[in-house]
Amino acid sequence: MAAPLLSSLCCRHSLRHCSPRRFARNDLSFFRSLSTSISSEKSLVLSHVNEDAGVAILAMNRPPANSLSLELNEAICTSLKEIDTNPKIQSVILASTNPTIFSAGLDVTELISPDDQRLPKFWNSLQQVYIDLYGSRLAIIAAIQGHAPAAGCMLAMACDYRIMYGGGEGSTVDGRKRKSHIPTIGLNETQLGIAAPPWMGQLLVRTIGFRPAERALALGTLFPPMEALIEGLVDDVITEESFSPSADTIHALEKLLPDPIRNQALSLVMQKAFQEAELYAKISPQARVASKLVTRSESLKDMIASREADTEYFCSFICQDTVQKNLKKYVEALKKKSKSK
């Protein structure tokens, strides 16, 4: 696995497929669902490309919480690969069709009383998502509208830039009032009685620095947006107080977008993500990819070298009685909370 990945970072995609695209700052037409749009695995992922813009959107679409199952992981990788093979695309926005949950992390039901054959496949698929995102030649922008705990946070950290919704009353991207929503992000595994695997923990260390990461990992801290910004876990926090799209914009987008992501395209987070995607797409792809290689190749090599051992450790760890007990308790509490709403 190592050789293809690193060669893809070095040359396979990056140096051959370098045709930066320009598009107008406010041109939201990049969201247009082309007839060649990619939707895979029963649309667990909605993916659309705009070759003129050089930008793609990849929106996770697994209700209710975009929790990462084997199938969703595979769908993310498949979609990303399809986008990656398109030489006209330089940037991708990683988003969610759920406006309040980016991804709830691993599908915890995958971890409870797991099937022997499926569990290692499941873990491998998560490792692959990380490798494909973190090692992509594409500039990937995380549009974090909602919660991103645990592996959801990992997805965001594996991107090149993270924009988070700052929360607040009455966000009205579609003209309707909605309840106040303040998303959180972080590696909260210890709160489930498990620990983040080394490669995920190290990703946090590389993102926010050693001491803050050490503390956040131990406590399983979930950061609200402004704290995440201060820690450097996200790069930008957007509030929608001043956001009021014009009727023309809404009308144009209604024509352009398929239902699941129409409102998302109108949100300020998505528009900022678009601007950032545009910014990255303007940089010489050779230079951008080379700089990504400088900061990411060593850790990717290490992760890939320990991949099998990581899978073995994960499987035996998850199957321990105490871990199973903790996980069951956690899921019961989650279901109870959901029912009590």
Binding window for ligand L4XM7KOE (CB under 6 A); candidates: 80-88, 195-203, 256-264, 288-296: 195-203
Pick between residue 13 and residue 62 the one whose CB is nearest to ligand L4XM7KOE. Answer: 62
CA dihedral 82, 84, 86, 89 (to 10 degrees): 130
- Quick note: the x/- pattern for ligand L4XM7KOE over 81-100, rule CB under 6 A, is -------------------x
Binding residue count for ligand L4XM7KOE, defined by CB under 6 A: 30
| Dihedral of alpha carbons 59, 60, 62, 64, sign | negative
Query: What distance in Å separates the CA atoms of residue 177 and residue 24, rounded to the nearest whole number?
Result: 31
* Residue 119 touching ligand L4XM7KOE (CB under 6 A): no
Query: Nearest-CB residue to ligand L4XM7KOE?
Result: 105
Binding window for ligand L4XM7KOE (CB under 6 A); candidates: 43-51, 149-157, 255-263, 268-276: 149-157
DSSP secondary structure letters along 106-138: B-GGGTSS--TTHHHHHHHHHHHHHHHHHT-SS
Cβ-contact 28, 261 below 8 angstroms? no
* Residue 159 touching ligand L4XM7KOE (CB under 6 A): no
Q: Look up residue 245 and give its two tokens.
A: 């799209």
* Residue 195 touching ligand L4XM7KOE (CB under 6 A): yes
Quick check: helix, strand or coil at residue 187? coil
CB neighbour list of residue 160: distance below 8 Å, 6 or more residues apart:
139, 140, 141, 280, 292
Pick between residue 248 and residue 321 the one whose CB is nearest to ligand L4XM7KOE. Answer: 321
* Residue 189 touching ligand L4XM7KOE (CB under 6 A): yes
Q: Where would I find the beta strands (DSSP E) of 13-116?
A: 38-40, 45-50, 55-60, 91-96
Q: Look up residue 235 and give its two tokens.
A: 């790069």
Using CB under 6 A as the binding rule, the residues of this chain from 51 to 80 that contact ligand L4XM7KOE are 64-65, 67
Query: What distance in Å separates the CA atoms of residue 14 and residue 108, rounded to the nearest whole number?
Result: 36
Cα 297–chain centre separation: 20
Q: How far is the CB of 63 from ligand L4XM7KOE (least distance, A)?
A: 8
**Of the candidate residues 5, 77, 92, 104, the single one contacting ligand L4XM7KOE (CB under 6 A):** 104
Q: Which positions lie near ligand L4XM7KOE, rule CB under 6 A? A: 64-65, 67, 100-101, 104-109, 147, 149-151, 188-189, 192, 194-197, 200, 313-314, 317, 334-335, 337-338
